[in-house]
Amino acid sequence: MKHIRIHISPYIIIPVIFAGIAAISAILAFRITQGWMKQEYVSAFGITIWVVVLAAGAFACGLVIVRVILRPVEVFVRKAEEFPVLAATGPMRNEGEGGDRLAHFARVLEQVSDILGKVEARELFPEIIGQSKAVRAVLSQIVKVAPTDSTVLISGESGTGKELVATSIHEHSARKDKAMVKLNCVAIPEGLLESELFGHERGAFTGATARKIGKFEMADGGTLFLDEIGDMPLNTQGKILRVLQEREFERVGGTKPIKVDVRFVVATNKDLEKMVKAGQFREDLFYRLNVFSVHLPPLRERKEDIPLLVDHIIENGPKSVRVSPVAMQRLMAYPWPGNVRELQNMVERAAVMCENDTIEPHNLPEGIAGGLIHQADPLLMESLSMDEQLREIEKGMILEALQRTGGVQVKAAEFLGINVRSLWHRVKKHNIDVKAIRD
């Protein structure tokens, strides 16, 4: 059964509400006064005239108020609709919106807000490529935490760009004019890690022929970024905790405490909470580090950004090429277990191998060229339940359809053989940013 909607202009409904309230108030006042005033002083005809006049006045006041409030909004919406960048985002009026002017205003204002958010992301963070909702949520967190001195814990799978986010936090902080020192805890052997962090005195151990300044002293007044902190040995974790608490340390082989003013930004691709429960990471250090956490979404959860990332990789790559639409569809359908790093390596390789300066499906690895998720990465799919596999396949099909149709959901629904409402629900379920694809 189809629901019938009747839309009434706010220029009518709101003044009518004002008039109704005024009329009811006048009638109630008449009923109250009728009990204690003499009848000859209360004229029903006079009261009727008074109610009509009062209601008309209230209607006129309501109309003026609505016009004062809505007129600037109408002007803004009308001018906004004339901009090509907004018109390119799709139809201004949703199906089912009909003549609902307020719903139309809300939709246009939402689109304007979305575009401004993308512009802000490009202007503030030109080095971070992506305009999806997931990426803009991360950028919003960076904007909030960067001006503070809070310790930041960045989590995410390998290849999601944790070091890039850490650099952005430093560059938007009050310490941007000071040094940002980076250290990968995996790249340094366990026996040398403390020397790298704290430095050492001459003669502290065999081979220490001169005093060495550690990363903490180098970062004094600035930011120290510790990558892959989940791989730090437990005994070193205790010494890091002391620096966090006391803001001082001693060089290896030294006896004099050294004060430092350092902001900590750390990153890991491991689940530190599980490591704490397993006794592989100090609980007290975890709580000291987890002051403000930023989680980077994997590439498979923000596939709308893949065309932008591919363009950026090609622009900075060894060869100027383009990607065919079919090859782009294959890239969009792949789950990317290696995230952005895997995408970069694959696109750069395809750019070198392609003919006629165009990357075609046959230039991609066999699993991606096939276009099916379960062919692309059988190990990843085997680790998922059947429901999760079906969910990934469904999401890949929807992304491919939207990519083929330029983000037009009506055409994508026809391509998939489903109705528009069903596609809309599936887009919501998979958190797909259609606007990013359309742009």
Q: Which two tokens stand for residue 302?
A: 């923000």
pLDDT at 398 over 50: yes
According to the 3-state scheme, what is the secondary structure of 30-88?
HHHHHHHCCHHHCCHHHHHHHHHHHHHHHHHHHHHHHHHHHHHHHHHHHHHHHCHHHHC
Q: Are 218 and 181 in contact (CB under 8 A)?
A: yes
Rounded distance between C-alpha atoms, residue 16 and residue 63, angstroms: 9
Cα 92 to Cα 94: distance, rounded to the nearest angstrom:
7
Q: What is the mean pLDDT of residues 228-240?
A: 91
pLDDT tens, position by position, 331-381: 888 888 889 999 999 999 999 888 888 998 888 887 675 544 444 445 455
CB 77 within 8 A of CB 105: yes
Is residue 389 classed exposed, middle or buried when 0-12, 13-18 and 19+ CB atoms within 10 A define those classes? Answer: middle
Per-residue pLDDT, averaged over 285-290, amounts to 94
Query: Quick one: average pLDDT of 225-235?
Result: 92
Q: Is 383 left (phi over 0), alpha (psi -120 to 50) or beta?
A: alpha
- The SS3 of residue 288 is helix
- Model confidence over 129-150: pLDDT tens digits? 888 888 888 988 998 899 999 9
Mean pLDDT of the chain: 79
Residues 6+ apart with CB under 8 A from 165: 128, 138, 142, 154, 267, 294, 296
φ/ψ bin of 413: left (φ > 0), alpha (ψ from -120 to 50), beta (otherwise): alpha
Q: How confident is the model at residue 60 (pLDDT cuts 50, 70, 90)?
A: confident
Amino acid found at 254: G
More confident residue, 42 or 393: 393
Count of other CB atoms within 10 angstroms of residue 135: 24
Percent with pLDDT over 70 in the chain: 77
Burial 63-84 (b: 16+ CB within 10 A, else e): beebeeebeeeeeebeebeeee
State residue 34's pLDDT score.
Answer: 59
* Strand, helix or coil for residue 268: strand
Q: What does the pLDDT look like over 163-173, one tens digit per residue?
A: 999 999 999 99
Structure token digits, residue 108: 């246009």
Q: How far is CA 311 from the centre of its chain?
A: 20
How far is the C-alpha of 164 from the C-alpha of 152, rounded, in Å?
14
**How large is the average pLDDT for residues 206-234?**
89
Torsion of CA 339, 118, 428, 77, to 10 degrees: -170
Which position has the higher pLDDT, 285 or 433? 285
State the DSSP H helix or E strand holding residue 171, giving kind and residue range, or none if neither: helix 162-171
Q: Determine the Cα–Cα distance for residues 224 and 251; give it in Å rounded to an integer.
A: 17
Q: What pLDDT does 85 receive?
A: 52
Determine the Cα–Cα distance for residues 343 and 376; give it in Å rounded to an integer: 13
Residue 45 to residue 36: CA distance in whole angstroms: 19
Which pTM was predicted? 0.65
> Which residues contact residue 73 at a Cβ distance below 8 angstroms, ignoring those fewer than 6 apart?
105
Number of CB atoms found within 10 A of residue 137's CB? 12
